[in-house]
Structure 1
Amino acid sequence: MPELPEMENYRRILSEQLLGKTVSNVLVTREKSINLSVEQFTNLLKGRTIIAIERRGKYLIFQLDSGNSLLLHLMLGGLMYIGTEQDVPKRTKQITLSFGEKHLYFIGLRLGYLHHLSSDQLSARFSELGPEPLESHFTADEFLKMVEKKKGMLKTMLINQKFLAGIGNLYSDEICFDAKLLPKSQVNEITVQDKIQLFHSIKQVLQRGLQYGGYIEMPVYQNDQLTGRYNEHCYVYGREGEPCLRCGTMIKKEEISSRKSFYCPACQK
């Protein structure tokens, strides 16, 4: 499932290509991917201009000049591609938004969705989301207050969207590695210094993920050279049986909170 770096990568690319563009046509081939009838959805979108594209956690928000928004959650397997009919990947598209000869394709939305929402509906969707970890006002002091009375496993805390918005299975393991902490560590048993390091690891790993274009392998547009490069730079995720980049010990895989987790048993404590 795309996490914060992947969705921020999408946001940046789509902002460059779509801001100020007007929707000329809408094609929906899977009605379950939207929250209205196809006719309503189409009528509300055609002729509307994209005035901003924002991200909140793992969501993208396409702001329309009508005052309403499109809320996107890709969920597991969801992808996007922007291009023409000549260069689009040969994959099943659930929704296509056209902007003249350029099209934004939503692919693999079997679990994901694109919903047309009013500003009040949008606010309600985000009412329980935690802070954005890359925002400048998210500080170590704020983080220490948040974890002061937390219990349970570290990984479980990190992937809880009510705690922090945007971290999922992959980056939680990468963060734990960077902080030299085991994903199954009990939050109330790690030291204050460990918690401060964890805060810095959250920031560093997510920025690193964004720097390398996230882990989604499919390019977002033709000749996209950035998207998906994080796969070449993972610390531990997906590297079971390979040597730790820090100490050389073999990386292990274990199921934690019903999720596959990767870690180094030697240098993560």
Structure 2
Amino acid sequence: MPELPEMETYRALLSERIAGKRIRAAMVTREKTINVPVDAFRSRVEGQRLARIDRRAKMLLFRLDSGDSLLLHLMLGGSMFFGAPEEAPDRTAQVVLALEGGGSLFFHGLRLGYLHVYTPAELEEKLQGLGPEPLDPAFGPNNLTLQLRRKSRRAVKFALTDQNVIAGIGNCYADEMCYSAGINPLRKLSSLSDGELQTLFNSMRSTLAEGIRYGGYMETPLFTGDSLTGGYNSRCKVYDRGGEPCIRCGTPITRTESSGRKVFFCGSCQRQGGHINGGEDAVNDKAAMRELVVHH
């Protein structure tokens, strides 16, 4: 499922290509993907200009001139493609937005995901339960500590992926940032020292920034010639690397399941927790962090 870095990559790439364009036509092949009748959806979307594209958590917000917003959640299996119909993947699109000047935005695989249209008040209500953005400049290590201490009985990974605690982190990046911090993702939060939480904060920021810089881990191209999307997949240290040697110590990466979720970690490097290499990553990513604009 796309997480914060994937959606931030899509936001940036789509902003360059479609922001400011009008929606000529909206085609819907699956009414369950939207939240209003098809005719109502079309009347609220067609002819509107895409003023800008924002991101909140794992979702994109397509802001329309009317004040309405299209809220996209790809969920599991969802993807997008921008281009001509002959370039698009050979998949059934649940929604297609045809844009002025040529090109269409195709939404595929939205069986669990959705593209809903909301008024400002409806959107505020929809998003009100989400936690803070982890890359917001106003969100510091003390904020992370306060958020996580509220869930002290939970395992680190499951607190990090709780969208009401922190918004945008999922299975992949939770495992990756725990590896960077040298903290076992299945440790109880109550066992972490303040120093370990500081290290986890640094690793969270550097891991997410690296994920954005390399286009996230989802490898489906957004458009023909897209060379950025999915570049982080080959840089994952533990996620989906079960049985492969740890790049630090050579111990095979453990793959297990907990609460129905896959969990990946190094049983040697992450046994006791503590700082391993998050500092170097954080230094390398300072420039990327300065350039990153958090849209929420």
TM-score, normalised relative to structure 1: 0.98
Does the alignment pair 1:237 with 2:239? yes
1:85 CA drift (Å): 1.5
- Residue 208 of structure 1 is matched in structure 2 by 210
Amino acid at match of 1:136: P
**C-alpha deviation, 1:147, in angstroms:** 2.7
**Aligned pairs (5 A) from 1:1-269:** 1-100=1-100, 101-151=102-152, 152-269=154-271
Q: Which amino acid aligns with 2:197?
A: K
**TM-score scaled by structure 2?**
0.89
Contact (CA 8 Å) 1:26, 1:96: kept in 2 or not?
yes
- Structure 2 Cα separation of the partners of residues 149 and 73 of structure 1: 27
Q: Which amino acid aligns with 2:32?
A: K
Name the amino acid aligned to 1:187.
L
Partner Cα distance (1:147, 1:94) in 2: 38
Question: SS of the residue aligned with 1:229?
Answer: coil
Task: Give me the whole-angstrom Cα distance separating, in 2, the residues matched to 1:40 and 1:262.
Answer: 45
What SS does the corresponding residue of 1:63 show, helix, strand or coil? strand
d(CA) in 1 for partners of 2:268, 2:257 = 18
Q: Summarize deviations over 1:43-86 as a string: whole Å, max 9, x none.
A: 11110000011000001100100011101100100000100122
Alpha carbons 1:68, 1:118 under 8 Å: kept? yes
Gaps of 5+ in 2: 272-296
CA distance in 2, matches of 1:180, 1:255: 19
**Counterparts of 2:232 and 2:136, CA distance in 1:** 21
Superposed CA deviations along residues 79-106 of structure 1, whole A, max 9, x for unmatched, are 0010012211111110000003210000
Please say if residues 148 and 159 of structure 2, whose CA atoms lie closer than 8 Å, have aligned partners that are also in contact.
Answer: no
Question: Which range moved further: 144-153 or 81-90?
Answer: 144-153
Secondary structure of 1:25's aligned partner:
strand
Using the alignment, how far apart are the partners of 1:241 and 1:172 within structure 2? 19
Cα pair 2:148 2:165 within 8 Å, conserved? no
Paired residue secondary structure (2:224): coil
CA deviations on 1:24-50 (whole Å, 9 max, x unpaired) are 011101110001111110111110000
How many residues align structurally?
Answer: 269
C-alpha distance in 2 between matches for 1:12 and 1:191: 37
Between the aligned partners of 2:147 and 2:40, the Cα distance in structure 1 is: 42
Code of the residue aligned with 2:266 in structure 1: it is: C
Shift of 1:145: 2.3
SS at match of 2:249: coil
Give the distance between the partners of 2:33 and 2:151, measured in 1 at CA: 36
1:23 is matched by which residue type in structure 2? Answer: I
The 8 Å contact of residues 149 and 188 in structure 1, kept in 2 or not, is answered as no
Q: Structure 2 counterpart of 1:217, which letter?
A: E
Unaligned runs of 5+ in 1: none
Counterpart secondary structure, 2:39: helix
Identity, % of aligned positions: 46
Measure how far apart 1:149 and its partner are.
Answer: 4.3
Cα distance in 2, alignment partners of residues 61 and 11 from structure 1: 9
Residue 196 of structure 2 aligns to a residue in which SS?
helix
